[in-house]
């Protein structure tokens, strides 16, 4: 992977346009989760330390090319300033004199108004990209979570100015390269979630890249059904049974082992319970639902991970939001975390539900790298080229 990084740039006296992702959750006009802000701070601080002026560009919500007051980035300024521990000025627009005058007058960092207030952003309009480029001298992309979109601020702008990856983008790309690009083997992938249909491209890509593919969550039921296993009234996509069989055959041809549950935690309906029945995977009653892998499956997966050098994880193994159906995901996550702490496993995870599940298991910090990107991480797992990354490599 070849792209410029901050340490190779002379930023002294330069205005640096930084594409961040400040599309953060808000409650009562205040930021309720600052994770994305926190990950942007090292890049902004590095630019300041090198004598540059960081000017932050971001989208917020989906205003569809119109000014929508409740989608203004202005309320984010206070949280960004607190995290940076330095003054941040807000500009009421992201192009033109309204932006340029604030940049010229500000002694330090600047946050520009929502990019998506202009239709040219999502259209990757060359004119809008040129208007953005006129505000700075160097472009830095630190928003991997937006890299799967060919928008003006992630794609077109990178062609108009010297372009580099920010520290968070660099860490993300290096972690992904170590996970699937040039990994230490054996490589395992855990793919969970509700439906095969939502991750079909992911599965088809991974069977040619990993040595062990662990399928969990509701999507495992479709594979079990495809193998002729009775799954009661569990969530399933029967119309994808033939597709599942094709993926199994492709995996066998590629030398990729597929791991499915051997036992399950079941209940008659989806909801919290004091206990749950554990049955062998071929003994699920017709009136019951599979809501988690069972303890034997968890122990078996933990043992298989002991022999792996790299793990990529996207999606929970069960309905982790509801006790006691969090036990399988938690047990496997804690094993992966322990192996990572010991230096025996490179573990890369991503996706909103995955991050929530690992956080619930108390082991988020122990993984080698956890991506906050949603769609971009999934498209990377599908093997697709990400426009925002490709633009940095040109």
Residues designated as active site = 36, 195, 352, 375
Using alpha carbons only, what angle is made at residue 281 by residues 233 and 221, rounded to the nearest 5 degrees?
50
Q: Provide the 10 A C-beta neighbour count for residue 85.
A: 8
Residue 124 has which token pair? 């990757």
* Distances, alpha carbon 306 to alpha carbons 124, 179, 251, 341, 369, in Å: 46, 17, 21, 13, 19
Instruction: Give the 3-state secondary structure percentages of the chain, helix then strand then coil, rounded to 5.
Output: 40, 20, 40
* Distances, alpha carbon 28 to alpha carbons 32, 75, 342, in Å: 9, 10, 42
| Distance separating alpha carbons of residues 127 and 123, to the nearest angstrom | 10
Using alpha carbons only, what angle is made at residue 52 by residues 51 and 53, rounded to the nearest 5 degrees?
130
* Residue 335 and residue 324 in contact, taking contact as beta carbons nearer than 8 Å: no
* Distances, alpha carbon 202 to alpha carbons 185, 366, 377, in Å: 19, 25, 10
CA dihedral over 265, 211, 349, 200, signed as positive or negative: negative
For residue 59, what are the contacts with CB-CB under 8 A and spacing of at least 6? 21, 23, 114, 115, 116, 121, 146, 151, 153
Helix (H, G, I), strand (E, B), or coil: what is residue 17? Answer: strand
């Amino acid at each position: 992977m070849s792209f410029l990084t901050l340490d190779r740039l002379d930023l002294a006296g330069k205005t640096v346009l930084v594409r961040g992702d400040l599309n953060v959750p808000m409650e009562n006009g205040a930021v309720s989760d600052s994770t994305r802000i926190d990950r942007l701070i090292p890049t902004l601080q590095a630019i300041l330390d090198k004598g540059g002026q960081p000017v932050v560009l971001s989208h917020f919500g989906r205003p569809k090319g119109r000014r929508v007051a409740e989608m203004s980035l202005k309320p984010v300024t206070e949280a960004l300033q607190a995290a940076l521990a330095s003054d941040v000025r807000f500009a009421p627009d992201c192009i033109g004199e309204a932006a340029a005058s604030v940049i010229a007058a500000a002694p330090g960092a600047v946050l520009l108004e929502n990019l998506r207030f202009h239709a040219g952003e999502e259209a990757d309009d060359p004119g809008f990209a040129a208007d953005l480029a006129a505000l700075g001298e160097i472009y830095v992309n630190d928003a991997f979570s937006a890299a799967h979109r060919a928008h003006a601020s992630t794609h077109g702008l990178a062609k108009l100015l010297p372009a580099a990856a920010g520290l968070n983008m660099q860490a993300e790309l290096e972690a992904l390269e170590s996970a699937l690009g040039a990994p230490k083997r054996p490589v395992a992938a855990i793919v969970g979630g509700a439906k095969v249909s939502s991750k079909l491209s992911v599965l088809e890509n991974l069977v040619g890249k990993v040595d062990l593919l662990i399928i969990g969550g509701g999507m495992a039921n479709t594979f079990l059904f495809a193998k002729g296993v009775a799954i009661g009234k569990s969530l399933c996509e029967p119309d994808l049974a033939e597709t599942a069989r094709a993926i199994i055959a492709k995996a066998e041809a590629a030398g990729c082992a597929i791991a499915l549950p051997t036992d399950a935690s079941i209940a008659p309906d989806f909801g919290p319970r004091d206990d749950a029945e554990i049955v062998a995977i071929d003994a699920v009653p017709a009136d019951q639902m599979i809501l988690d892998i069972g303890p034997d499956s968890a122990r078996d997966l933990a043992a298989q991970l002991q022999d792996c050098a790299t793990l990529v994880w996207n999606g929970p193994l069960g309905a982790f939001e509801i006790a006691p159906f969090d036990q399988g995901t938690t047990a496997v996550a804690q094993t992966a975390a322990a192996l990572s702490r010991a230096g025996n496993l490179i573990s890369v995870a991503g996706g909103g539900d995955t991050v929530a599940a690992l956080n619930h298991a108390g082991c988020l910090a122990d993984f080698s790298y956890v991506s906050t990107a949603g769609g971009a991480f999934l498209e990377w797992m599908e093997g697709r080229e990400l426009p925002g990354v490709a633009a940095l490599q040109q």
